[in-house]
Amino acid sequence: MKKTLILQAPAKINIALWVKHKRPDGYHELASIMQTISLADTITLKEIGEPGIRIFCDNPDVPLDGTNLVHRAATVFLDRFSIEPRLAINIDKKIPVAAGLAGGSTDAAAVLTGLARLYDKAVTVPDIMNMATSIGSDVPFVVHGGLALAEGRGEILSFYEPPKPPLVVVIAVPTGVSVSTRWAYENYHSGNNQAKEKAFGEVLQAYRRRDIEALKALVFNDLESVTLHRHPEVLKIKELLNSTGEGVAMMSGSGPSVFALFTDRRRAMNAVKNLDGMAVNVFIEHITRKNT
């Protein structure tokens, strides 16, 4: 009997993102505090009789060919275990596309871990992390999920217990705006790393103790200097979410998504009211622990 497996693929936010410098390999040296949230895609893996890897998705903006990271993840895994491709992958897309929330990376991570279960393969953590690194910089983090300090190009990970109780997360995505991660990094110019290093060193502990006031003074995302200049509506969303003074808002990744952290849902909803009349999609979510 052909098997079917259904998995959740959670989005991520960058609590802080420090782009240090460009490396000889063309990537940028990073330091980022990354957190998975409850907003998630649903991935269904199904064995089929016909040869090949077939991708289906309810969002027309998602490619269905080999450029999709889930195709690459499936290919890497099946090649690793010499399994003939006879696989259908369905993506029920809830995470906005090209929005700085690791939507493609988390789908790929779910495929990697899901195929190990579908084909009953014993995969070591280093092995699956190596496969994840070969697919994309954010994929190793979302394989694990939870809270991590990511360094290098994102593949050097140190994991921590997230804040308790979970913080409420507002995600606001301007409609009709997408940002290429490659474009954002290509147009970024580094600034005062000494000042950033001091602030970055204090973000993780402030975040873990749920100290919103401290975070207001500490958090930063270097790619805001690129994306906010091109897309002023992203800056406007950030300002409106910050305007109640009860949370802290920041762009996630290369944008255009803006997230805001609050200690409870009431404060989150107060801030969301300020977005009335804007062309924006809003999600009320919460931070999550590591994937099961």
Asked which of 160, 183, 201 is the last residue of a domain, the reply is 160
141 and 208 part of one domain: no
What is the side-by-side order of every strand in the sheet holding 258-262? Answer: 248-251, 258-262, 168-174, 280-286
Q: Single out the catalytic residue among 41, 107, 138, 222.
A: 138
Contact residues for 285 (Cβ-Cβ < 8 A; gap 6+): 11, 37, 38, 39, 168, 169, 170, 171
Asked which of 107, 135, 160 is the last residue of a domain, the reply is 160
- Between 22-26, 85-89, 109-113, the lowest mean confidence (pLDDT) is in 22-26
175 and 62 part of one domain: no
Beta pairing class for 147-152 and 258-262: unpaired
142 and 25 part of one domain: yes
228 and 154 part of one domain: no
Q: For residue 138, what is the DSSP state?
A: T
69 and 133 part of one domain: yes
**Measured distance CA(1)–CA(261) in Å, rounded:** 46
Asked which of 160, 194, 224 is the last residue of a domain, the reply is 160
pTM for this one? 0.93
In this structure, the dihedral spanned by the alpha carbons of residues 275, 251, 34 and 26, taken in order and rounded to 10 degrees, is 150
176 and 272 part of one domain: yes
pLDDT for 102 equals 94
174 and 133 part of one domain: no
Prior bond of 163 cis (ω within 30°): no
CA 140 and chain centroid, separation: 11
Confidence of residue 203 (pLDDT cuts 50, 70, 90): very high
141 and 184 part of one domain: no
Q: Is 198 a catalytic residue?
A: no
77 and 30 part of one domain: yes
Instruction: Give yes or no for a contact between 153 and 29, defined as CB atoms under 8 angstroms apart.
Output: yes
Count of Cβ atoms closer than 10 Å to residue 98 Cβ? 20
Give the residue numbers spanning the domain of 9: 4-160
Q: Is 25 a catalytic residue?
A: no
280 and 206 part of one domain: yes
**Residue pLDDT, tens place only, 220-234:** 999 999 999 999 999
Task: Dig out the tokens for 60 from the structure.
Answer: 């027309």
How many domains are there within the chain?
2
In a domain, 292, yes or no: no
Q: Between 265-272 and 232-242, two packed helices, what is the crossing angle to 10 degrees? A: 130
In a domain, 230, yes or no: yes
